[in-house]
């Protein structure tokens, strides 16, 4: 008499495998799609800033495109989900160049505390440096008619992909 062998475990493996594959495919599809444009119909004001969340990862910004309204006040909620320090530098080309030079002069070291990088006063822009796992909230008023860029200026990070597109719309 031949013993009956249950095929149930095999089915579980096949179904589970198919599910895992479809989740990976779905994840890749979602990652490849640009994030939907946020609702910009009610820009933030000084008394009522619009909340904008940005997650920093090794080595990219999430979302990869930042939508801002010219003149509005936003409250950035920043979180470093990476395992290394990251920096949120928002500003024009002058701001970017200043922080690039400052960070190149004092890069963060693993087992030492470097002197804090700084730029001359009056450079403007916004710069937040966050260690791994840290979060920060900062209020910012979007300047009118200044082309903004968002980068992590820690040495090598922009080259690895820590550059976000900033789209400033007028209302
Ligand atoms: Cu970085």
- CA dist 142 and 140 (Å) reads 6
CA of 157 to the centre of ligand 1 (A): 5
DSSP output for 38-49:
P--SS---SSSP
- CA dist 168 and 171 (Å) reads 10
pTM of the model: 0.77
Higher confidence at residue 46 or residue 24? Answer: 46
CA of 49 to the centre of ligand 1 (A): 26
Mind listing the pLDDT tens digit for each residue in 131-160? 999 999 999 999 987 899 999 999 999 999
Q: Partners of 168 in the beta sheet?
A: 68
Mind listing the pLDDT tens digit for each residue in 12-21? 777 777 877 7
CA of 170 to the centre of ligand 1 (A): 29
Task: For residue 148, give Cα distances in angstroms to 69, 119, 153, 163.
Answer: 12, 18, 14, 12
Work out the mean pLDDT of the chain and round it to a whole number.
88
Mind listing the pLDDT tens digit for each residue in 52-106? 999 999 999 999 999 999 999 999 999 999 999 999 999 999 999 999 999 998 8
| pLDDT band for position 119 (cuts 50, 70, 90) | confident
Mind listing the pLDDT tens digit for each residue in 23-40? 777 766 666 666 678 889
CA of 91 to the centre of ligand 1 (A): 16
Residue 75: Cβ-neighbour burial (10 angstroms; 0-12, 13-18, 19+): middle
CA of 106 to the centre of ligand 1 (A): 14
CA angle 117/121/123 to nearest 5° reads 90
């Amino acid at each position: 008499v031949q013993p009956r062998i249950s095929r149930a475990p095999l089915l579980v493996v096949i179904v589970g495998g198919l599910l895992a594959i479809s989740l990976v495919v779905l994840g890749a599809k979602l990652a490849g799609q640009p994030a939907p444009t946020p609702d910009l119909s009610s820009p933030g004001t000084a008394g009522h800033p619009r909340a904008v969340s940005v997650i920093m990862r090794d080595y990219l910004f999430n979302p990869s495109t930042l939508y801002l309204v010219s003149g509005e006040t936003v409250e950035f909620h920043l979180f470093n989900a990476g395992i290394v320090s990251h920096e949120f530098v928002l500003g024009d080309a002058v701001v970017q160049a200043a922080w690039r030079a400052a960070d190149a002069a004092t890069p963060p070291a693993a087992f030492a505390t470097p002197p804090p990088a700084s730029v001359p006063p009056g450079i403007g822009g916004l710069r937040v440096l966050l260690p791994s796992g840290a979060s920060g909230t900062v209020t910012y008023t979007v300047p009118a008619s200044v082309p903004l860029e968002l980068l992590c200026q820690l040495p090598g990070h922009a080259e690895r992909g820590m550059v976000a597109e900033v789209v400033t719309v007028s209302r």
